[in-house]
Chain A
Amino acid sequence: MRNRLLAFIGVLAAVVAMGLVVPAAGQAPKKYNAPKTPWGDPDLQGVWNDATSTPLQRPGNVGEKGVLSDEEAEEFQKSLEHDLTRDRRDGGGAADVNRAYNEHWMDARRLKITADRRTSLIVDPVDGRIPPLVAPSPERRRAQAARADGAARFAAGLPADFTDMSWPVRCVVRTDVPPYLPTIYNNNFQIFQSPGYVTIAPEMIHSARIIPVDGRPHLDKSLRQWLGDTRGHWEGSTLVVETTNFKSEEGVLFQGANPATFTITERFTRVAADAINYEFTLADPMTWTKPWTALIPWNKVDPDEQMFEYACHEDNFDMVHFLTGARLREKNGER
């Protein structure tokens, strides 16, 4: 299967399959010598933004293309602003209400075509798509069904209980649980380094992912955390990060992966003064038929910009509104 794909796609696929970074169109593939901290670690420090126009998975109509041509990129850029802007009011009430607010509340970067012009963030498998899902065990199927029932009640505006809301809506986790994926706003991470540590502070929700790089072991298996327990080490100029000890709650991990069997490896490489390549590989034999890898370019933000505190639960009026709204509607006869 793999050989057939390689023969079909040619050189580009071979480059991707070898796990190399897909060179951005027009960017010379020369090695960048990242500056080092005073104690000799590659310097990743700064405030970084991971907004991108590239979808996670390759869209169906682009065939096996890994990178857009100049002409396609120009067209895509023209269309991006129209398609994704929240300022548009077309499509009827149902589409309109879900756009929520105006574009000035959103991260403007996602409307600009990403420099490398890839057609998917996923670089492995070569088709740019998440591998097929494994059939869930009866137990997992029941758990997933229960979650889906809750989500359906929530979508109808009639949640039965606070557990019908998702973990992000409950302000337990947002874009802070790895892998880091971009969203509509607050796509910011600040990296601090000190001897023996690399620390990543995501904006949503506040926390400090303090990563020891001194080779110490992970926490005991019995200690479980929402954001897991992370250890890092340097491979050349790449920070390689492994996270374990995720809590057993369903629905926290990407695509509802099973915390007991899920593994994630992340790689951070400074590839330019203002760019970091963030790569992650996810594996879970109970969820995906094989591991998969995505690459997301991070861009250094304007020095005048910065991160701001993102407290979430403290002023999460949503939870009260959802629940009291549901009880009121039920009282008025809605089901």
Chain B
Amino acid sequence: MRTLQSLVVAGAALLVLAIAAPALSHHAFSAEFDANKPIKFKGTVTKMLWVNPHAWIYVDVKKPDGTVEEWMIETGTPNTLLRRGLTKESLPNGTEITVDGYQSKDGSRRANGRDLTLPNGQTLFLGSSGTGAPDEKKK
């Protein structure tokens, strides 16, 4: 039992190592985003850039004093979402989302979108699509 757990953990770790080989390493996010600067706030989507290598969601965040800050949220590759049947219309401007992530180390208004949810708690995109895309059907 314990051996198998070790197998799985070691396997996962080695898989990560293999992936981190120079030829195809994906950058360590801790290089840019600060694990000690977690952020969580509600914002209104003003635009989404469906681009690679990262899609970007811009949100306006209303502060207690009434001023509005614009944040740039880094997300993953849009290709995965497109394969699930989503389109650039899937996140309309004006949608309120909750961003749970980590702020960039340089203190600018940029964060990686660790968890993006709709006000009702549903994970963004999984909750808002329902297009019957192949990947959703399989799940």
> Chain A interface (Cβ within 8 Å of chain B)?
53-57, 59-62, 72, 75-76, 79-80, 83-84, 89, 92-94, 96-102, 104-108, 119, 121, 154-157, 165-169, 171, 173-175, 177, 179, 181-186, 203, 251-256, 302, 304-306, 308, 310-312, 314-318, 321-322, 324-326, 328-329, 332
Contact = CB atoms under 8 A, between A and B. Distances in A.
Contact of B79 (A96, A157, A310): A310
Given A72-B4, A185-B80, A104 B126 contact: yes
Contacts of B9: 83
Contact of A96 (B6, B108, B114): B114
B28 A98 contact: yes
Contact of B11 (A55, A186, A317): A55
Instruction: Tell which of A168, A251, A314 has the most Cβ of chain B within 10 Å.
Output: A168
A329 B30 contact: no
Given A185-B79, A318-B54, A89 B22 contact: no
Interface in B125-139: 125-126, 133-135, 138-139
Contact of A312 (B8, B28, B34, B53): B53
A9 to B, nearest CB: 17
B24 A56 contact: no
Given A93-B102, A105-B76, A183-B26, 16 more contacts: A76-B11, A83-B12, A93-B38, A97-B102, A97-B114, A102-B115, A105-B81, A169-B25, A173-B24, A174-B24, A203-B79, A256-B22, A306-B83, A310-B77, A315-B49, A322-B32
Contacts of B31: 154-157, 322
B19 A157 contact: no
Contacts of A184: 19, 26
A60 B9 CA distance: 10
A168 B114 contact: no
Contacts of A317: 54, 56
Interface in B30-77: 30-36, 38, 49, 51-54, 56, 75-77
Contact of A56 (B5, B6, B18): B18
- Secondary structure of the A contact surface, majority rule: loop
- Secondary structure of the B contact surface, majority rule: mixed
A177 B49 contact: no
Interface of B: 3-15, 17-19, 21-36, 38, 49, 51-54, 56, 75-84, 102, 104-108, 110, 112-116, 123, 125-126, 133-135, 138-139
A181 B25 contact: no
A65 to B, nearest CB: 9
Contact of A253 (B23, B26, B106, B134): B23
Contacts of B51: 311, 314-315
A315 B52 contact: yes
21 contacts: A59-B11, A59-B13, A59-B14, A61-B6, A79-B4, A83-B9, A104-B80, A166-B27, A167-B22, A168-B25, A183-B19, A184-B26, A185-B77, A186-B80, A302-B138, A306-B83, A310-B52, A311-B52, A316-B53, A328-B107, A329-B106
Contacts of A253: 22-23
A332 B104 CA distance: 14
Nearest to B117: A102
Contact of B35 (A61, A92, A104): A92
Contact of B10 (A59, A166, A310, A322): A59
B30 A305 contact: no
A183 B53 contact: no
Given A186-B77, A321-B110, A98 B105 contact: no
B114 A101 contact: yes
Contact of B27 (A80, A169, A179, A332): A169
A325 B108 contact: yes
Nearest to A107: B80
Nearest to A83: B12
A75 B19 contact: no
A97 B76 contact: no
A76 B80 contact: no
A179 B75 CA distance: 27
Contacts of B79: 185-186, 203, 308, 310
Nearest to A52: B15
Given A94-B30, A157-B105, A321-B110, A55 B80 contact: no
